[in-house]
């Protein structure tokens, strides 16, 4: 058996206290513990490959934690042996239907005498399958599966299961909320425990590719000094079945030859010198990183260089690079996220890429975000998925929560991803689904990672549920988000069934709850598009994501009277989205502009729905906090306190969102809430200087109730008393109090 140089390092941390969901603790059920100990006395591994060596090291680590006893090594023929390896490496690993497993699938078989386990076998056609099979076995044991019930046969639904890291050369992470880059470029070529644990975690959920650097790429990542630093990291990742990738700066020929005697001054894909430069550079990169899978490119988007700068198309640019990587059996993933103006950026990507269908080389994959805007809490599924029928495609999801609460809101995104994968692109009930399109030979799923160097890896303790669910959905696109949540909870916290159900209830409601108190009915962007994308700013996105007035709200994207976006889908979907009687309520304001008194299928008006969901959403977060509080004493004190504090902060920020959005719409429409009343207060102006008669403070007070109110405004400075101003404010009116 090969010995992995990374396996010993991975053994340094006790199995019971591993990172995130790789916690290997003895079961509380004494009968199950007895079964584990009887079934796993020994581990025998067959096959000469570092991935098998890592699989053996991991399962030994897991069994030591789960049973309290380190298993013996090697084949002896005794009962209670776990046998792992490739089917051609030992007669003990022969299985039926091995061809159906492919290069990454596996079979787990249990040989029993009655209920007594004689032998457990994890067999595969290739080392990667052995690794994935071992992690699946461990997952089953962590979730309380009895050894006699371990039989399983699995192969991944998707060929490419990729993480995209937006990690910068300076160690920062764009749209990262969990600290700095886990790759610690300055420390390379030394491999840290964190890097090895990253490889273990990602391999455990079936990830087989990782783009290490930001799509807004620095050309230095493919320069010789950086390649020398990256080489050991990439070699380590490969021993865990993870193909390393790099993001490219399209202007690299210009940047990296700037100090040459005869620098290249263009990145035109039709220029022979540019083509030769890329051919030589990719050969150099491949020599330094033999396991390299390919390159990810963001071009002509948000100021990035690209082929359009030279009058070429995206296909021209992608194909030039594809031909340079083809001799090395590499792939180019080319992002379709491009936009020029904000008139209606929903349709721009389709306008650019749809005419190019069929023009990309076979080793090019076009990577498209799940929706046509930018990872909003609710968007329609991107029409490009159903349009690019002659182009390899990858769907891009965002695990890091750029627009869905970042590290400040517990939002489990798997239910949203499930809807995206299940979307029938041909029309209601008419395939192929997005998942089926991504199952092609050169296609897959990419997720923008939420990992960082924070102790909890993801910025808040519940955020790792998204990391876990992404990998599991990429492996099995039919997986149920509820099942994945329960798996993750049991593996992470080791809770009993009732407590697991309580946490699962939080996770499964969290996405729609966040939608309730932020962006209603598919409206999308209600935070500043040029800022942090965290705080509410509905005024800042008027005309970009909504056209709210005193009469109504939404965005008319219909063919008949709007931007025509609804016509980018097949006719069956166009008919659904174009008609107010058939458009789904959750996408109403994405597709249509409607008056505030438009009635939804529930019977309530649009404005009342906005009020109701924002108030009820905040109350639901309070219920989340209460449910978590009920777990006191059943979750370790440190993580219990961290999650409790996070929910307290989430209640505060959810309240900020509620108040900002409700006040915005009341200010515009002056429509009263049927069930509630409130008072809105604003201090106009960018600055308020307190002190002196000339700096009196004007306070605007709005009465959002059905009757006149006497309202008093008072200023309480650190010293002195400015007094108060009392006003009679009619219903739905605004008055100004001047202090003092």
Positions marked active-site: 302, 374, 402
Does residue 674 sit in helix, strand or coil? Answer: coil
What is the SS3 assignment for 371?
A: coil
- Residue found by looking up tokens 């025998």 in the block: 44
DSSP letter at 185 equals: G
In whole angstroms, what is the distance from residue 520 CA to residue 72 CA? 58
Name the token pair of 713: 């405004």
Is the distance from CB of 354 to CB of 340 less than 8 angstroms? no
Instruction: Map residue 350 onto helix, strand or coil.
Output: helix
Q: How many helices (H) and strands (E) does the chain have?
A: 20, 21
Contact criterion met (CB below 8 Å) for 434 and 422: yes
Cα Dmax for the chain: 94
Query: For residues 36 and 709, what is the distance between their CA atoms, to the nearest angstrom?
Result: 70
d(CA 532, CA 82): 50
Q: Which helix (H) or strand (E) segment is 678 a member of? A: strand 678-682
Query: Rg of the chain over CA atoms, in angstroms?
Result: 28
**Spatial CA neighbour of 469 closest among 421, 412, 510:** 412
Are 315 and 360 in contact by the 8 Å Cβ rule? The answer is yes
**Beta strands in 502-607, from DSSP E residues, in sequence order:** 552-554, 593-595
d(CA 465, CA 413): 9
Both tokens assigned to 629:
């509080």
The full DSSP string for 511-523 is HHHHHHHS-GGG-
Cα separation, 627 vs 644, whole angstroms: 10
Q: Which residue has the tokens 């090395």?
A: 328
DSSP character for 526? -
d(CA 2, CA 299): 42
The residue behind tokens 């009020």 is 611
CA 548 – CA 578 distance, rounded (Å): 20
Q: What are phi and psi of 546, to 5 degrees?
A: -160, 155
Tokens describing residue 437: 């399109």
> Strand, coil or helix: what is 49?
coil
SS3 content of the chain, % helix, strand, coil (to 5): 40, 15, 45
Site of tokens 């020929």: 253
Tokens of 711: 């309202």
SS3 88: coil
């Amino acid at each position: 058996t090969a010995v992995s140089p990374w396996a010993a390092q991975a053994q340094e941390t006790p199995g019971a206290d591993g990172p995130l969901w790789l916690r290997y603790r003895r079961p509380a059920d004494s009968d199950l513990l007895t079964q584990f100990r009887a079934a796993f006395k020994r581990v025998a591994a067959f096959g000469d490959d570092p991935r098998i060596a890592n699989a053996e090291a991991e399962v030994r680590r897991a069994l030591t934690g789960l049973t309290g006893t380190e298993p013996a090594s090697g084949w002896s023929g005794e009962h209670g042996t776990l046998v792992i390896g490739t089917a051609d490496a030992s007669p003990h690993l022969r299985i039926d239907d091995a061809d159906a497993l492919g290069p990454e699938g596996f079979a787990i078989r249990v040989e029993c005498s009655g209920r007594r386990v004689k032998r457990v076998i994890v067999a595969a056609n290739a080392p990667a399958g052995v690794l994935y099979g071992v992690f699946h076995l461990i997952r089953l044991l962590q979730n309380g599966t009895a050894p006699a019930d371990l039989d399983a046969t699995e192969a991944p639904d998707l060929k490419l299961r990729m993480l995209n890291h937006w990690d910068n050369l300076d160690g920062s992470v764009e749209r990262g909320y969990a600290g700095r880059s886990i790759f610690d470029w300055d420390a390379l070529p030394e491999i840290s425990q964190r890097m090895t644990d990253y490889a273990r975690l990602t391999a455990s959920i079936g990830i087989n590719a990782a783009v290490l650097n930001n799509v807004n790429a620095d050309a230095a990542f493919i320069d010789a000094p950086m390649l020398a630093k990256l080489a050991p990291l990439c070699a380590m990742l490969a021993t865990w079945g993870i193909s390393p990738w790099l993001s490219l700066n399209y202007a690299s020929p210009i940047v990296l030859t700037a100090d040459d005697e005869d620098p290249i001054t263009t990145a035109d894909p039709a220029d022979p010198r540019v083509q030769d430069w890329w051919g030589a550079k990719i050969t150099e990169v491949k020599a330094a990183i033999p396991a390299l899978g390919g390159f990810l490119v963001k071009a002509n988007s948000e100021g990035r260089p690209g082929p359009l700068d030279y009058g070429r198309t995206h296909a021209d640019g992608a194909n030039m690079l594809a031909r340079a990587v083809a001799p090395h059996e590499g792939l180019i993933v080319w992002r379709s996220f491009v936009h020029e103006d904000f008139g209606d950026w929903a349709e721009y990507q389709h306008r650019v890429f749809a005419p190019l269908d069929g023009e990309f080389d076979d080793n090019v994959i076009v990577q498209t975000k799940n929706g046509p805007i930018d990872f909003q809490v609710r968007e329609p599924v991107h029409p490009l998925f159903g349009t690019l029928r002659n182009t390899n495609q990858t769907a891009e999801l965002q695990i890091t929560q750029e627009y869905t609460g970042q590290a400040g809101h517990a939002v489990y995104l798997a239910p949203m991803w499930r809807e995206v994968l299940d979307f029938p692109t041909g029309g209601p009930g008419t395939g192929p689904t997005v998942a089926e399109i991504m199952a092609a030979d050169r296609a897959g799923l990419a997720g923008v990672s939420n990992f960082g160097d924070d102790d909890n890896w993801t910025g808040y303790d519940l955020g790792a549920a998204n990391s876990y669910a992404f990998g599991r959905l990429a492996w099995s696109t039919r997986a149920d988000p509820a099942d994945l949540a329960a798996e993750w909870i049991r593996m992470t916290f080791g809770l009993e069934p009732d407590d697991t159900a309580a946490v699962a209830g939080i996770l499964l409601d969290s996405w729609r709850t966040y939608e309730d108190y932020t962006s209603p009915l598919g409206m999308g962007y209600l935070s500043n598009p040029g800022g942090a994308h965290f705080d509410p700013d509905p005024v800042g996105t008027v005309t970009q994501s909504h056209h709210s007035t005193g009469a109504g709200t939404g965005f008319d994207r219909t063919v008949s009277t709007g931007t025509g976006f609804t016509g980018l889908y097949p006719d069956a979907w166009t008919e659904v989205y174009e008609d107010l009687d058939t458009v789904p309520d959750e996408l109403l304001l994405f597709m249509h502009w409607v008056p505030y008194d438009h009635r939804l299928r529930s019977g309530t008006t649009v404005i009342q729905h906005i009020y109701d969901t924002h108030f009820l959403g905040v109350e639901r977060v309070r219920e989340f906090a209460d449910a978590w509080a009920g777990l006191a004493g059943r979750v370790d004190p440190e993580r219990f306190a961290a999650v409790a504090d996070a929910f307290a902060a989430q209640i505060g920020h959810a309240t900020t969102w509620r108040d900002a959005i409700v006040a915005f719409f009341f200010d515009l429409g002056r429509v009263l809430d049927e069930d509630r009343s409130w008072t809105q207060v604003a201090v106009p102006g960018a600055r308020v200087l307190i002190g002196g008669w000339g700096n009196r403070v004007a306070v605007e007070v709005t009465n959002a109730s059905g009757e006149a109110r006497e309202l008093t405004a008072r200023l309480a400075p650190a010293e002195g008393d400015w007094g108060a101003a009392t006003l009679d404010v009619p219903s739905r009116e605004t008055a100004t109090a001047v202090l003092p």
